[in-house]
Structure 1
């Protein structure tokens, strides 16, 4: 029995997904393909001529021809993997990620296409199991004419590790009238869990950039707090604890917002709202325990928070989270939401730019003016950032409700006006 699934996404990747199981087609790798492998000494044509480490070569025996063929296929696969993939190559059920590229129609109305992915694992002797083959249909809804090249990635889970041959093309009756899509064949290696991603997804960029942003925020806060006569070591310790607990708070917020199970805490995303709520709460409580004015500590913290966001937010753009809406505009940038790679509005970069402006302005205010009401700079900066974030929500793939946005923006506007008035006339 093979894997048979149908996945759909409304709004070019924003909808729900459903899956069904039914028998797959006939397994590949029959007598014809076996003859081709024998012509190359038991090695598939794609791997013929590759050198193999002597330590891994076994002398063939009359009863081990099939095992020798599997060994050679596995050696070729491991040679093409990176270091992390080699370590996790045999770690439980794996994921195969395959991408099909097509060009959107040049004009007309938005339309939908269904792309069928079928895959078989190489080096399998005898009958293939359901973990050695798959048959998946991915629906791409509301394709925007004129949006250029689009890549749809299918991630099939629960498979046996190995090298895979994948064929992808339009499913029967799965395209828009007048849109002709070719079938394409490719090869792919299974990978462990989240490592299996499509193009334009750099998972490492998020922790690197967010980490750099956190370091920048802590250093800048320590310098500014010392300028106001506080022990920067104590402030730094409080903030470091706040960052660690805030990271957990961001993940819990994400689980609650997306109704995920608590067991997904380690692999889930994180929301900036949860991080700020917990981290700033820890900073305020720690300041009280240390005997420092909370408002003064928060003012010293504000520039680092938003300049750190300006550094870390592009990591979301590069790793495919918080993706922008698809667009056919020339201002769009090709990026991914980890399923569809296409031209989108770069909402993460716009938010990073807003955070940069807010961070610079708050830093100038902290350095150049003695606030009459400590905490006003922080309150104004936070209100300005929240206001800008609400403005950008409609440009995201997952926009929030209009009513909630309007109420939030009205409240932030009042706080911002009050903070400016206090700073100017207080």
Structure 2
């Protein structure tokens, strides 16, 4: 567990934020290559990525604030204040909020650019799974999104000071972050392999991505701890 990746004075780069940003960057790079092969200008995908990333960051922050509202009562400016407790940097994001607002932003982008949403979705959506694979390593380093207690050889004891360590001090728990990350990667590889086997209808890759992700969450949530 390594919550703060880099700290210079009061400036800190958090592992979760860095890995999520890296996941987005890799996903957009792969998407631009996929777009070029299908006759799209890579710039369209990069513009799309910037819009979706910004929307996802805002959505992730808002979802965290709503679900942890007690942390901000009486000091609401901490929601947007990048400097608090002697450290520069905003900590506290939620993946679900980022996904929801990101999809809304993607739909609006396609409307404005007059691009078929499902056509672009077929290009970009599968890389969401690749980005999630990288992002979940950020969850592991942060010690969030953790599992229930277990005694299997690969279970992990998180140190105190992390969400998992504070909840289960000295107790082995399922590393559900890694479960999801590895299954996300496997699903991405399966999906792009299936794409090559016969002609698919418009929207096939888009919808299959979320079918896969729904199944992944159903599996992982069986092992995950929820308060």
- Scaled by the length of structure 2, the TM-score of the pair is 0.79
The one of the two structures with greater contact order (alpha-carbon pairs below 8 A, sep at least 6) is 2
Cα distance between partner residues in 2 of 1:341 and 1:375: 47
Cα distance between partner residues in 2 of 1:277 and 1:84: 31
Q: Which of 390, 397, 409 is 2:218 aligned to? A: 390
Q: Partner of 1:243 in structure 2? A: 53
Q: Which of 109, 112, 127 is 1:304 aligned to? A: 127
Going from structure 1 to structure 2, the CA distance change for 1:377 and 1:84 (only over 3 Å counts) comes to: closer
Q: CA deviation at 1:221?
A: 1.1
RMSD between aligned residues? 2.4
1:85-114 alpha-carbon deviations (Å, 9 max, x no partner): 7x34xxxxxxxxxxxxxxxxxxxxxxxxxx
1:357 aligned onto 2:186: yes
Q: Partner of 1:324 in structure 2? A: 147
Q: Partner of 2:23 in structure 1? A: 213
1:333 aligned onto 2:156: yes
Runs of 4+ in 1 over 6 A off after TM superposition: none
Cα distance between partner residues in 1 of 2:225 and 2:57: 23
1:379 aligned onto 2:207: yes
Q: CA deviation at 1:222?
A: 1.0
Are the counterparts in 2 of residues 317 and 346 from structure 1 also a CA contact under 8 Å?
Answer: yes
Q: Partner of 2:33 in structure 1? A: 223
Q: CA deviation at 1:230?
A: 1.7
Are the counterparts in 2 of residues 332 and 343 from structure 1 also a CA contact under 8 Å?
Answer: yes
Q: CA deviation at 1:313?
A: 0.5
Q: CA deviation at 1:249?
A: 0.1
Cα distance between partner residues in 2 of 1:341 and 1:237: 46
Higher strand residue share: 1
- Scaled by the length of structure 1, the TM-score of the pair is 0.44
List runs of 5+ in structure 2 lacking aligned partners.
Answer: 1-5, 81-89
Q: CA deviation at 1:367?
A: 4.5
Say which is worse superposed, 205-214 or 222-231, in terms of deviation: 205-214
List runs of 5+ in structure 1 lacking aligned partners.
Answer: 1-82, 89-191, 196-202, 400-426
Secondary structure at the aligned position of 1:333 is classed as coil
Cα distance between partner residues in 1 of 2:198 and 2:118: 15
